[in-house]
Structure 1
Amino acid sequence: MLQVKIVPVTAFAQNCSILWDSESKDAVLIDAGGEPEKLLHEVEELGLNVKALWLTHGHLDHAGAVGALAKAWQVPVVGPHHADQFWLDMIQEVSARYGFPIPENVEVSQWLQGGEILTLGEEEFEVRFAPGHTPGHVMFYNKNNDLLWTGDVLFKGSIGRTDFPRGNHQQLLDSIRRECFSLPEQTRFISGHGPMSTIGEEKRTNPFVASQAG
């Protein structure tokens, strides 16, 4: 059975998700954004065997701990799309700009295009390419549990910023309509920041994209 624990990290309160199979204790982390010692402790407390680190996009607050954890656990980094490589290449520079601890560089083992199926135990996760917030943003969808990890594409009551380099507002709206609003309304999603919501709730009430739902 799939288990999920959300661990907020960094001053940006970014939702790092720890996912694991309850039988094998095999695990992955989605968007290990910072505070690697905290995440190492969480994984140790849960008694998990981390198999990979998955990334929705290359921003500092989502990838800041990935380099250190990949080295500590000797595991591959999967995602995002190759179009976000420039963000990962700048991660140390951007960290210095924000006054964050300088992280380890991130070396991606597998770039994603969208459409791939990733696995954890018996669970499958469909990769959905959703550019706009960044040009290489991806999301992870687990149909079996009606769960979607949206990164910084869609939030409860809001959407991702597009004022960063190579962001594109219309592209983001198109991604939300195509990759989020095409899913069943009962689908719950875990976003990069803030509380969970459902696709149906955002279709009805999100002021930024409710008009995109039709």
Structure 2
Amino acid sequence: MTLHCEIIAVTPFRQNCTLLWDDETGEAVLTDVGGDVPFVLAEVAKRGLKLTAVWLTHGHLDHAGGVVELLSQYDVPVLGPHEADGFLLEQLPQVTAQYGFPVSPAFEPSRWLQEGDTLAVGNHTFEVLHIPGHTPGHVVFYCKDAELLIAGDVLFYETIGRTDFPRGNHADLIRNIASKLLVLPEHTTVVAGHGRATTIGHEKRHNPFLQG
């Protein structure tokens, strides 16, 4: 019984959409479907997987801009982000047009997520942690058994998420990373929203934003 994780870079912003699946049940979820939906769905299809949900870490266009297109082909629930990011999902038509992305209609997820909620991929359980700062409603997904954290735009290899966007807050971001993420086991793999993966231990030792 193994949880598999395939990172699929999408959109001109090279955002890491992640395909997670349980090899025993064949059930899969996609996180942060920002765009390039035909390419993403082809990755699901070629593995013969059953897509059961979409999970969203936050409402920025490169993470949520492809969701409505995907829903036109797959009737699956959209889980997350936290409802504090509702304003970002409402603004998707204007923001996707502004950045030259395929225009996404506004949408509301099937369920907003909160701290302590649990989600599942087949037999694997993920805990939801609310990490505001990059956006007010940002959540991350942590699977203790698989030693895996889907971190969105909170924590990156030797850096952290930007906080200069509307309703961002640098102090909140640092405090939440320190109190909720750096306490996880050091060997936990961190899949960031962009770029290479890292580990909690590496960031504790080498991330200049998290020292002291």
Which category of TM-score, normalised to the shorter sequence, fits these structures?
over 0.9
2 CA distance for matches of 1:72 and 1:179?
A: 36
Amino acid at match of 2:103: I
Unmatched runs of 5 consecutive residues or more in structure 1 = none
1 CA distance for matches of 2:211 and 2:152?
A: 19
CA offset at residue 170 of structure 1?
0.2
Match of 2:135 in 1: 134
1 CA distance for matches of 2:55 and 2:124?
A: 15
CA offset at residue 67 of structure 1?
1.3
- Residues 147 and 188, structure 1, Cα contact 8 Å, conserved in 2: yes
Match of 1:158 in 2: 159
Amino acid at match of 2:109: V
Residues 159-213 of structure 1 deviation map (CA, whole Å, 9 limit, x = unaligned)? 00000000000000011101210101111110000101110100100111122xx
1:48-67 alignment, distance < 5 Å: 48-67=49-68
2:72 is the counterpart of 1:71: yes
2:103 is the counterpart of 1:102: yes
- Residues 65 and 104, structure 1, Cα contact 8 Å, conserved in 2: no
Unmatched runs of 5 consecutive residues or more in structure 2 = none
- Residues 132 and 172, structure 1, Cα contact 8 Å, conserved in 2: yes
Q: TM-score, normalised by structure 2?
A: 0.97
Match of 1:198 in 2: 199
- Residues 52 and 78, structure 1, Cα contact 8 Å, conserved in 2: yes
CA offset at residue 32 of structure 1?
0.8
2 CA distance for matches of 1:149 and 1:172?
A: 16
Residues 55-102 of structure 1 deviation map (CA, whole Å, 9 limit, x = unaligned)? 000000001111111231100100000000000000111011111111
Q: Tell me the SS of whatever aligns to 2:142.
A: strand
1:28-67 alignment, distance < 5 Å: 28-67=29-68
CA offset at residue 104 of structure 1?
3.8
1:169-208 alignment, distance < 5 Å: 169-208=170-209
Q: TM-score, normalised by structure 1?
A: 0.96
2 CA distance for matches of 1:87 and 1:64?
A: 11
2 CA distance for matches of 1:6 and 1:97?
A: 27
CA offset at residue 51 of structure 1?
0.4
CA offset at residue 23 of structure 1?
1.8
2 CA distance for matches of 1:4 and 1:208?
A: 27
2 CA distance for matches of 1:166 and 1:71?
A: 31
Q: Tell me the SS of whatever aligns to 2:5.
A: strand
Q: Tell me the SS of whatever aligns to 1:144.
A: coil
Match of 2:115 in 1: 114
Length, aligned pairs only? 211
**Sequence identity, in percent?**
53
2 CA distance for matches of 1:206 and 1:106?
A: 35
1 CA distance for matches of 2:140 and 2:21?
A: 18
2 CA distance for matches of 1:146 and 1:19?
A: 13
Q: Considering only aligned residues, what root-mean-square deviation do their CA atoms show, in Å? A: 0.9
